[in-house]
Structures are given as C-alpha cells and as structure tokens.
Amino acid sequence: MASQPLPKVELRELGNTGLKLSCVGFGASPLGNVFGPVSDDEAIGSVREAFRRGINFFDTSPYYGGTLSEKVLGKTLKALGVPRSEYVVATKCGRYADGFDFSADRVTKSIDESLERLQLDYVDILQCHDIEFGSLDQIVNETIPALKKLKEAGKIRFIGITGLPLGIFTYVLDRIPAGMVDVVLSYCHYGINDSTLEDLILYLKSKGVGIISASPLAMGLLTENGPPEWHPASAELKSACRAAAVYCKERGNNISKLALQYSLSNKDISSVLVGMNSINQVEENVAAAVELATIGKNEKILAEVEAILKPVKNQTWPSGLQQS
C-alpha cells in the first residue's frame, strides 16, 4: 500500500516580492544557542524535518549567537543539499555582537561576511536589524540606499526592516519611495498577549510591503517551559503567561500550539517565524498549522486564555532609542 504523503504547511505570497513563503517560518536564532545549546545533529535534524514538512523560509542574523546562527544554518543547508531555488533565506545587518552600525560602509561589508558564513551566493531578504537602536533618518537616507545597491549587485533580492516599536515602520515607509522596502518583520506584536500589529496591517498593505510576524510564542513566554533569563517582559506579564500555560496544560491543551495557531490565523501575515531547535518542535509546530487549516483552533480554550491575559493585553517593553 502506498504511504500517505506527509501533510505540509501552506505557502503564502509575500507582498509584491513574488516569493511564496511557508506560513510557518523557521526562526534560526535558536541555532545560535540563544535559547540554550544546540548540537550540529539537532540543527541538521530540525532543518531536514522542516524541509520535509514544507517549511521553506529560514530567518537568521549575524547577531544571533555572535554569527553562530548564520554559520550553523549555512553548514546545515549545505549538508542537506536542497536546491537553492527551493528555499528562502533572510538575514540581517546593522546589529552585531559588538553593537549597532547601520552605516553604508558596515552593511555593505556585512553582507559579504554573511554570505560567506551562510555559504550562499545571495540571500533572498536582507533586513536592517532592530532599527529603533539606530537613527531612523540614517536608515532612510543611508542604509536603505546602500541595500538598494546590494540588490542591484545581485547579492540580495529584497530589502526589509525589523524592530519592536511599531512606529518605526511608519516613520521609515512614509519617507522613502514606494517599493524601496519590500518587507517588514515585526516581532512580539501578533500573538495572544499582544496583537497590536493588527492596526498596521492595512497601512502596510497599502504600501505594498510584505508582512512577516516573528515570535508567536512571545520569545518563550507562551511555552510550558517559560522564557529564558534575559526575557525583557515585566514580572506581571511573565506571571500572567505562566498562569495561562498552566491553565492550558491542566485542561490537556498546549499554550504554544494555541499561540501559534492564533498568529497563523491572520492570512495577511505571510509567514509566522517560530524559533526552533529540535525535530520535535518542528513536528509540533507543523502539526499545529495543519490542524488549524483542517479542523480550526479550539475557540473555547482560546477565549479562556484571552481572559487570563486580558489584564496584560498589549503590554510590551521599551526597545531602542525611543525616538518615534
């Protein structure tokens, strides 16, 4: 008897880029040991399983693990030998282990270093990383024009910007010609505890910008194991998320599954980037996406969890120079 094909995650168009991204994207910051040590075998196993289940989008940065994430992802992609046209790699520039530098000179050198570590000839998306820590006027007047030259040189295909405060995106997009920035990567703003990205979606669509939403598990807040030591949330937010995780577990549900399904439900978001570092996590996250597409999410438990998180809804934390 022929075996059933494995259910795969759906693909979604990314703005005007023509790229089709898996709705679950592979966040590779954990490959830089950001959430604890990951062996080469675990890294290769997770990425192999991701490909098997239809995940084609991988996001990294020279900042994650002080270049380790890029190196491990590069080694892993090479070991698996998947044809280059079958996956999309995004990396970043401007944020490094030794600080921020969004100058044209630094980002121009940075892409060559990233390509070497990733063992690639080009990346699909190069994103200015956490621009709220730099001068937004420099991003507009110097960094994005430098990235445009990299695009013309064929080292990158598309340009993105990332960061936490949502005002940074409108500040930049209102000051550059349409089409200069292809992608926005927002994080921790489209999840059960914080859904403020929703207010920006129509604006981003009107600008023709593709939307990627990262950290559906709020960087570990919405997991049974809880967040890492460095997590910037307030004690109140951490405690509410812990209570929500326990509530789900006691009723035979998993907070991470529910949280990912919540983020995936909005189809204006092309890809939801989840940090993954084990085969098991890839399997669980793909299963959550497939269940959402076939059966739907558990609306009753979601409403109960939303009620637990209501006192901290949309609570965030400061990030960057607070200039916008």
Side chain identity, residue 221: L
Tell me if 15 sits within 8 A of 249, measured CB to CB. no
In degrees, rounded to 5, the angle at the alpha carbon of residue 8 between the alpha carbons of residues 7 and 10 is 130
Which residue among 150, 248, 273, 289 contacts ligand NAD (CB under 6 A)?
Answer: 273
Q: Which stretches of the chain are assigned E, i.e. beta strand?
A: 11-13, 20-22, 24-27, 57-59, 88-93, 95-96, 99-100, 123-128, 156-163, 183-187, 210-214, 271-275
Establish if 27 lies at the interface with ligand NAD (CB under 6 A): yes
Which residue among 73, 281, 289, 308 contacts ligand NAD (CB under 6 A)?
Answer: 281
Which residue among 46, 256, 270, 271 contacts ligand NAD (CB under 6 A)?
Answer: 256
Q: Which pairs with CB-CB distance under 8 Å and at least 24 residues apart come from 291-297? A: 291/257, 291/261, 292/261, 292/264, 292/265, 293/10, 294/7, 297/258, 297/261, 297/262, 297/265
CB of 2 to ligand NAD, least distance (A): 30
Contact range with ligand NAD by CB under 6 A, out of 15-23, 45-53, 149-157, 215-223: 215-223
Residue 77 CB partners (closer than 8 Å, separation 6+): 47, 58, 87, 89, 118, 119, 120
Whether 262 is catalytic is no
Contact range with ligand NAD by CB under 6 A, out of 105-113, 235-243, 269-277, 289-297: 269-277
CB of 164 to ligand NAD, least distance (A): 7
Residue 224 CB partners (closer than 8 Å, separation 6+): 245, 249, 254, 255, 256
Active-site hit among 63, 64, 190, 262: 64
Residue 154 or 323: which CB sits closer to ligand NAD?
A: 323
Establish if 143 lies at the interface with ligand NAD (CB under 6 A): no
Establish if 215 lies at the interface with ligand NAD (CB under 6 A): yes
CB of 217 to ligand NAD, least distance (A): 3
Q: Which of residues 74-113 bind ligand NAD (CB under 6 A)?
A: none
Establish if 276 lies at the interface with ligand NAD (CB under 6 A): yes
Which residue among 110, 261, 285, 316 contacts ligand NAD (CB under 6 A)?
Answer: 285
Total residues belonging to the chain: 324
The tokens of 162 are what?
A: 């990332």
Q: Which are the catalytic amino acids?
A: 64
Interface contacts to ligand NAD, rule CB under 6 A: 27-30, 35, 59, 129-130, 162-163, 185, 187, 214-220, 223, 256, 273-277, 281, 284-285
